């Protein structure tokens, strides 16, 4: 999908507001940020592929200088409106696969949530390399990646058929678009290949209703995304 496609999706995306930052009911992300001391001392943060600014809406007040980038102008406009009043915040239109050199080595924390889902594996690796460059040496990176195991469990629940055998990642049709999903191993491999350190992968659960399932099925784990964290 290109920037124009995302421009067209922006209004619907804003209406749904099913971003992981507001749907993380168990506060896995908040606890991780706190445990790494990132919510103190007004740290600098870059959100690459910021969409409608949901990360800043939830956590922006705890940070110092904040930069949100996205290739979709429309997403940035909505983000700016939703985050009006937050201090020290700038927006920039930029491709996550080719971030402006001025953003290199700039952030104590780089966030990149549900962006590295490109069908092309090479594009995913490029985006990861670029986001890595955005962090200061020793800085932190926080990625949200769609979980293949979670997707397969929901399909198995809906169809009654067991999940197919999978590699570390797979291309899946979701919301009428093809996206790359990751197993836990696939997420870890992505980070390791980019030379990241202190790599950790954990689950961030979100409500069943986000998958269109109104009553939580007994004995089944809720759906989740991967929270992949690492240091440059
Ligand atoms: C699923 S949304 C996630 C938005 C936000 N990070 C969140 O978690 O709420 C994906 C976002 O990535 C942006 N995006 C996709 N490909 C991109 C690219 N090559 N460069 C910059 N942004 C991109 C889209 O415009 C969209 O805003």
Range of the domain at 221: 3-146+191-231
In a domain, 197, yes or no: yes
Token pair for 91: 């927006």
User: How much is the pLDDT for 4?
Assistant: 85
Residue 19 near ligand 1, beta carbon < 6 Å:
yes
| Ligand 1 lined by 44 (C-beta under 6 Å) | no
Specify the pLDDT at position 13: 73
Q: Which CATH number belongs to the domain containing residue 86 in this structure?
A: 3.40.50.150
Is the predicted pLDDT of residue 22 greater than 70, yes or no? yes
Q: Which has more pLDDT, 32 or 175? A: 32
Number of domains in the chain: 1
Looking at the domain assignment, is residue 182 inside a domain? no
Q: How many other C-beta atoms are found inside a 10 Å radius of the C-beta of residue 228? A: 25
Residue 22, domain member (yes or no): yes
50 Cα–ligand 1 center, Å: 6
| Mean pLDDT computed over 72-100 | 96
Q: In testing the pocket of ligand 1, which one of 47, 70, 94 has its CB within 8 Å of the most ligand atoms?
A: 70
For residues 180 and 163, is the Cβ–Cβ distance under 8 A? no
Q: Could you tell me if the CB of 131 is within 6 A of ligand 1? A: no
CA 1–ligand 1 middle distance (angstroms): 10
Average pLDDT over residues 132-158: 96
| End-to-end Cα distance, the chain | 28
pLDDT-derived band at 176 (thresholds 50, 70, 90) equals confident
In a domain, 29, yes or no: yes
**83 CB burial (10 A radius; 0-12, 13-18, 19+):** buried
219 belongs to a structural domain: yes
The protein residue with its alpha carbon nearest to ligand 1, atom 20, reads 95
Would residue 131 count as lying in a domain?
yes
Q: How do residues 181-203 score in pLDDT, each as one tens digit?
A: 999 999 999 999 999 999 999 99
């Amino acid at each position: 999908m290109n920037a124009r496609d995302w421009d067209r999706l922006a209004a619907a995306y804003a209406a749904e507001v099913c971003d992981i930052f507001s749907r993380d009911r168990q506060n896995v992300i908040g606890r991780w940020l706190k445990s790494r001391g990132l919510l103190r001392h007004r740290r600098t943060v870059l959100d690459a592929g910021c969409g409608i600014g949901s990360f800043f809406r939830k956590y922006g007040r705890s940070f110092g200088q904040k930069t949100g980038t996205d290739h979709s102008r429309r997403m940035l406009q909505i983000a700016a409106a939703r985050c009006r009043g937050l201090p020290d915040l700038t927006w920039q239109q930029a491709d996550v696969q080719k971030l402006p050199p001025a953003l290199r080595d700039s952030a104590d924390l780089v966030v990149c949530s549900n962006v590295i889902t490109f069908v092309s594996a090479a594009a995913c690796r490029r985006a990861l390399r670029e986001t890595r460059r955005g962090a200061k040496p020793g800085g932190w990176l926080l990625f949200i990646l769609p979980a293949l195991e979670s997707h397969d469990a929901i399909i198995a629940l809906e169809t009654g058929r067991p999940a197919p055998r999978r590699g570390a990642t797979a291309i899946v049709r979701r919301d009428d678009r093809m996206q790359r999903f990751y197993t836990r191993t696939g997420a870890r491999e992505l980070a390791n290949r980019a030379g990241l350190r202190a790599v950790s992968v954990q689950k961030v659960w979100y409500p069943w209703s986000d998958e269109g399932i109104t009553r939580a099925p007994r004995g089944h784990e809720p759906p989740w995304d991967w929270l992949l964290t690492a240091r440059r």
